[in-house]
């Protein structure tokens, strides 16, 4: 089995107490069975705290979030009391993995870092180097990797998509359009305000996301058609490569390659609209601002299966209830 990672992957470190949007807040955190059994075996005061802080329902065990939707083990310094008391090995699978994601193939696993983590976002978007996929050390000599013909064709095609996105001789808008053409798709012709209306009809969690969409809805279209300076292209290149790396492979399962490519380019387009609004106000576009827009988009869309399914269905032309919007 070959394990593949992006070239920036090894530089990732959780910033824990310095994280402004800790992944230990605002989500239901499921506890896998093995870790739940481990927690049930802990005795003493910490064992009692564990059992009081975990609830079990039809979906399994999860932490009982407090009134502010914080994990009950996230302390005042935003550090994890489970790590501090029992060590990192005692974390449940979700907490150990986050913000990593994995895509599985017949004899290959691809691993990446999700944009919903601010540290991962700043690392990925702040990288000036072209993203390259490299084998995880220890699996680089897996020369007998067996991939199906369909997988091999997919990887060859995806390399072409990456090459188009990373062709720095062109401005980013031309590259994004070229990817849509290569994948035989197009984004529905919508104004930024109309896209904002569609996103406002999806499930939403964070008020900041709603406020960004409302600002987009109210903004004069002309201000969103401005061209950002060339030096900002790198942010959108890295974003587009990330979305393709994370989402295109699902086409091997559902056959929706065109919709997945369109979904990826739509993500870049939506984030670029927020960036243009920011530029209009500040005449600048720092990495932290782009990473924050990307974090919000990722949390609200990529980490909501319902929203992902709805957007893919819309882009596949399958949602009659959104037909009026499209």
Residues that bind ligand SF4 (CB under 6 A): 14-16, 19, 22-23, 98-99, 117-119
Kindly provide the b/e burial profile for residues 290-302, where b requires at least 16 CB atoms within 10 angstroms of the residue's own CB. bbbbbbbbbbbbb
Query: What H or E segment, with its residue span, contains residue 123?
Result: helix 118-125
d(CA 147, CA 239) in angstroms, rounded, equals 27
d(CA 264, CA 241) in angstroms, rounded, equals 9
d(CA 142, CA 105) in angstroms, rounded, equals 14
* Least gap, CB of 98 to ligand SF4 (angstroms): 6
Q: Judged by CB, which is closer to ligand SF4: 2, or 292?
A: 292
Q: Judged by CB, which is closer to ligand SF4: 11, or 15?
A: 15
* Least gap, CB of 113 to ligand SF4 (angstroms): 9
Rounded to the nearest angstrom, the gap between the alpha carbon of residue 230 and the centroid of all alpha carbons in its chain is 24
Q: Judged by CB, which is closer to ligand SF4: 19, or 215?
A: 19
Q: Judged by CB, which is closer to ligand SF4: 16, or 308?
A: 16
Q: Is 161 within 8 Å of 243 (Cβ atoms)?
A: no
* Least gap, CB of 22 to ligand SF4 (angstroms): 4
Give 89's contacts (C-beta < 8 A, 6+ positions apart). none
Q: Judged by CB, which is closer to ligand SF4: 119, or 213?
A: 119
Q: Judged by CB, which is closer to ligand SF4: 74, or 270?
A: 74
* Least gap, CB of 16 to ligand SF4 (angstroms): 6
What tokens appear for 300 in the block?
Answer: 């609200």
Query: What H or E segment, with its residue span, contains residue 111?
Result: strand 108-113
Closest CA relative to residue 295, chosen from 46, 120, 146, 163? 120
* Least gap, CB of 20 to ligand SF4 (angstroms): 8
* Least gap, CB of 95 to ligand SF4 (angstroms): 9
- How many Cβ atoms sit within 10 Å of the Cβ of residue 138? 8
């Amino acid at each position: 089995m070959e394990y593949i990672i992006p070239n920036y992957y090894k530089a990732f470190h959780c910033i824990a107490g310095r994280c402004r949007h800790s992944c230990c807040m605002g989500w239901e955190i499921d506890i896998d069975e093995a870790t739940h059994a481990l927690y049930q075996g802990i005795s003493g005061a910490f064992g009692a705290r564990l059992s009081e802080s975990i609830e079990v329902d039809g979906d399994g065990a999860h932490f009982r979030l407090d009134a502010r939707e914080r994990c009950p083990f996230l302390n005042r310094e935003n550090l994890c009391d489970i790590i501090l008391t029992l060590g990192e090995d005692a974390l449940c699978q979700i907490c150990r993995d986050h913000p990593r994601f994995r895509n599985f193939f017949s004899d290959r696993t691809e691993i990446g870092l999700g944009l919903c983590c601010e540290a991962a976002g700043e690392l990925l978007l702040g990288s000036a180097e072209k993203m390259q996929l490299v084998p995880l050390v220890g699996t680089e000599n897996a020369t007998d990797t067996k991939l199906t013909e369909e997988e091999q064709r997919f990887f060859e095609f995806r390399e072409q998509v990456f090459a188009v996105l990373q062709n720095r001789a062109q401005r980013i808008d031309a590259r994004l359009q070229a990817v849509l053409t290569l994948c035989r798709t197009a984004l529905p012709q919508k104004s930024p305000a109309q896209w904002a209306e569609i996103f406002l009809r999806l499930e939403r969690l964070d008020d900041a996301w709603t406020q960004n969409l409302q600002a987009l809805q109210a903004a004069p279209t002309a201000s969103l058609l401005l061209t950002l300076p060339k030096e900002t292209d790198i942010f959108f290149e890295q974003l587009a490569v990330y979305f393709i790396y994370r989402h295109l492979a699902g086409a091997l399962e559902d056959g929706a390659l065109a919709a997945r490519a369109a979904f990826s380019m739509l993500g870049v387009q939506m984030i670029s609209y927020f960036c243009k609004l920011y530029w209009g106000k500040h005449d600048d576009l720092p990495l932290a601002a782009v990473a924050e827009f990307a974090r919000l988009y990722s949390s609200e869309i990529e980490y909501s299966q319902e929203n992902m399914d709805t957007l893919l269905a819309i882009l596949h032309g399958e949602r009659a209830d959104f037909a009026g919007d499209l």
